[in-house]
Amino acid sequence: MTQQLALDLPNRVDFSADSFILGAANREATTALERWRDWPAGAFALIGPPGSGKSHLASIWARRSGARVTSIDELGAALDQIEPGAALVVEDTEHGGSDTALFHAFNRAAKGELPALLMTARVPPAQWGAGLPDLVSRLRALPQVALHEPDDALLTQLIRKQLNDRHAPIKPGVIEYLLPRMERSVAAARTLVDLLDKRALVKQSPITRVVAREVLAELNPDSPDPGDGE
**Given this model, what pLDDT does residue 212 score?**
97
In the predicted model, what is the mean pLDDT of the chain? Answer: 88
More confident residue, 97 or 41: 41
Q: Please state the pTM of the whole predicted model.
A: 0.76
The neighbour count for residue 6, using CB atoms within 10 Å, is: 14
Is it the case that residue 229 has pLDDT exceeding 80? no
**Given this model, what pLDDT does residue 124 score?**
96
**Given this model, what pLDDT does residue 107 score?**
96
Query: What residue type is assigned to position 213 of the chain?
Result: R
Q: What string of H, E and C letters represents the secondary structure of the chain?
A: CCCCCCCCCCCCCCCCCCCCCCCCCCHHHHHHHHCHHHCHHHEEEEECCCCCCHHHHHHHHHHHHCCEEEEHHHHHHHHHHCCCCCCEEEECHHHCCCHHHHHHHHHHHHCCCCCCEEEEECCCHHHCCCCCHHHHHHHHHCCEEECCCCCHHHHHHHHHHHHHHHCCCECCCHHHHHCCCCCCCHHHHHHHHHHHHHHHHHHCCCECHHHHHHHHHHHCCCCCCCCCCC
Q: What structural domains and CATH numbers belong to the chain?
A: 27-146 (3.40.50.300), 152-219 (1.10.8)
Is it the case that residue 2 has pLDDT exceeding 80? no
More confident residue, 99 or 220: 99
pLDDT tens-digit readout, 159-185: 998 898 899 999 999 999 999 999 888
**Given this model, what pLDDT does residue 5 score?**
41
Is it the case that residue 121 has pLDDT exceeding 70? yes
Is it the case that residue 1 has pLDDT exceeding 70? no
For residues 39-57, average pLDDT: 90
**Given this model, what pLDDT does residue 9 score?**
42
In this prediction, residue 25 has a pLDDT band, given cuts at 50, 70 and 90, of: confident
Is it the case that residue 30 has pLDDT exceeding 50? yes
